[in-house]
Chains A and B, each alone.
Chain A
Amino acid sequence: ILNVEQSPQSLHVQEGDSTNFTCSFPSSNFYALHWYRWETAKSPEALFVMTLNGDEKKKGRISATLNTKEGYSYLYIKGSQPEDSATYLCAFIDGGSTLGRLYFGRGTQLTVWP
């Protein structure tokens, strides 16, 4: 079982603050990294799929970067809003095992206070 670590485990910020969190994964045999947002009482939804070292993806106020050589990805939220409150999951695909199989981290739970 591959180890995917996310930090911090939880985060509380004020509306308007910018924030970021980290996903660490094995740097060997990298294939792809996924970010998902999981709001309470809803299904996890995909944010980004990242495959290339140096990739930067953006969706509105949320962006992500990828460093496959050192094995980490950052997710940034600019000007957090209460609707950004959710658990953010990252998931790693290992090129050495069955493609399509995701290894999930435990998530970062973000709470944005109005």
Chain B
Amino acid sequence: DGGITQSPKYLFRKEGQNVTLSCEQNLNHDAMYWYRQDPGQGLRLIYYSQIVNDFQKGDIAEGYSVSREKKESFPLTVTSAQKNPTAFYLCASSRRDKGGSDTQYFGPGTRLTVL
């Protein structure tokens, strides 16, 4: 089955610790995205990558880092510099056609709680 997997589903960490959220896709998509959702807010873009070894900051990149060493994988690290890391994190991917209006496909999400 083709799709996007995120692990783990729930993650608990102590304040001050870095934590890495996994995102893997087997859809052969070029573009991948990380979003954050907080109660009452829309999805906000953290980072995105349109191609391997390249990524750009989204609207709320401070305190986060990413890598894109393989087409299938786009891990997100929440660093201790992120002031309010407790949130629901969604990963997505898309084909990146010439038009740039491609549908995004989402993973199941990871709920991170920092204690």
Contact = CB atoms under 8 A, between A and B. Distances in A.
Are A and B associated in one complex?
yes
Interface of A: 1, 4, 31-32, 34, 42-46, 49, 51, 89, 91, 93, 98-102, 104-107
Given A43-B107, A43-B109, A98-B56, A104 B100 contact: no
16 contacts: A31-B101, A32-B100, A32-B101, A34-B101, A43-B105, A43-B106, A44-B90, A46-B103, A51-B101, A89-B43, A93-B100, A98-B56, A98-B100, A99-B101, A101-B58, A102-B33
B22 interface: no
A105 B42 contact: yes
B27 to A, nearest CB: 13
A32 B98 CA distance: 13
A93 B101 contact: yes
A45 B101 CA distance: 15
Contacts of A45: 106
A18 B45 CA distance: 33
Contact of B100 (A46, A89, A99, A106): A99
B28 interface: no
Interface residues of B, number: 29
Interface of B: 4, 31, 33, 35, 40-45, 48, 50, 56, 58-59, 90, 94, 96, 99-109
B111 to A, nearest CB: 11
Contacts of B100: 31-32, 93, 98-100
Contacts of A100: 31, 48, 50, 94, 96, 100-102
B42 A46 contact: no
Contact of A34 (B35, B42, B103, B107): B103
Contacts of B99: 32, 51, 99
Question: 5 tightest CB-CB pairs across the interface, nearest first?
Answer: A99-B100, A32-B101, A43-B106, A104-B42, A46-B103
A100 B90 CA distance: 16
A109 to B, nearest CB: 11
